[in-house]
C-alpha cells in the first residue's frame, strides 16, 4: 500500500492505467493529510494525536495497524510539503457522500479537540474544511458536539 501511495504522490497524480484501488489509496491519503494538518495547526503533532488519527483511519478505511502507520507517515510528509487544502478536500468531496463528509469533519474535530483546547488556527481550518467539503455550519456544529462527547 505504501509503495502505491508513494508512486501516486511522486508522479503528482494518476497514471493512465489508474485502478479503483489507486482511487481508494488517494482517498485514504487525502483524509490522513487533512487529519494531520488539523493536528499540526497548534504547532504540535504529538503521540496522542497520532494514536487518534491511526485509530480513525483504521476504523474508517478498515486498515491494519501497519497500513495505518505507513499511511500516517506518508501523509505527514505530504502535509509538510503541501500548502493547500483544496486538493485533498476535493478528493474527499468527490469520493464521499454527504454523510461521509460530515463524518470526516467529525474526525477532524476529534483531532483538534484531542488536547482539550481549540486554538484559533484549528477553528479556522475546520471552518475552511467545512466549506470545502460542502458541510453546513449547523452540520459542522453538530459534528463538533459529537466529537466533544467522544473525547470527554
Q: Closest Cα partner for 126 from 51, 115, 113?
A: 113
End-to-end CA gap in the chain: 34
pLDDT in tens, 132-142: 999 999 999 99
- List helix spans (H) across 41-85: 47-61, 65-81
CB 146 within 8 A of CB 72: no
Q: Which residues lie closer than 8 Å to 105 by C-beta, 6 or more apart? A: 126, 129, 130, 133, 135, 139, 140, 143
pLDDT in tens, 55-113: 999 999 999 999 999 999 999 999 888 778 899 999 999 999 999 999 999 999 999 99
Q: Per the structure block, which three cell numbers stand in for 26?
A: 488517494
Please, what are the domains in the chain? 2-7+20-151 (1.10.3680.10)
pLDDT in tens, 21-70: 445 588 999 999 999 999 999 888 888 899 999 999 999 999 999 999 99
pLDDT(123) > 50 = yes
Amino acid at each position: 500500500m505504501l509503495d502505491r501511495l508513494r508512486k501516486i504522490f511522486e508522479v503528482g497524480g494518476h497514471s493512465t492505467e489508474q485502478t479503483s484501488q489507486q482511487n481508494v489509496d488517494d482517498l485514504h491519503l487525502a483524509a490522513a493529510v487533512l487529519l494531520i494538518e488539523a493536528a499540526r495547526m497548534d504547532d504540535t503533532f504529538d503521540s496522542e494525536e497520532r494514536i487518534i488519527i491511526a485509530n480513525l483511519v483504521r476504523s474508517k478505511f478498515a486498515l491494519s495497524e501497519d497500513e495505518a502507520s505507513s499511511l500516517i507517515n506518508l501523509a505527514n510528509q505530504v502535509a509538510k510539503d503541501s500548502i493547500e487544502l483544496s486538493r485533498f478536500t476535493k478528493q474527499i468531496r468527490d469520493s464521499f457522500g454527504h454523510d461521509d463528509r460530515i463524518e470526516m469533519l467529525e474526525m477532524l474535530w476529534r483531532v483538534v479537540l484531542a488536547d482539550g483546547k481549540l486554538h484559533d488556527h484549528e477553528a479556522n481550518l475546520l471552518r475552511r474544511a467545512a466549506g470545502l467539503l460542502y458541510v453546513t455550519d449547523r452540520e459542522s456544529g453538530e459534528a463538533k458536539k459529537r466529537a466533544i462527547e467522544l473525547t470527554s
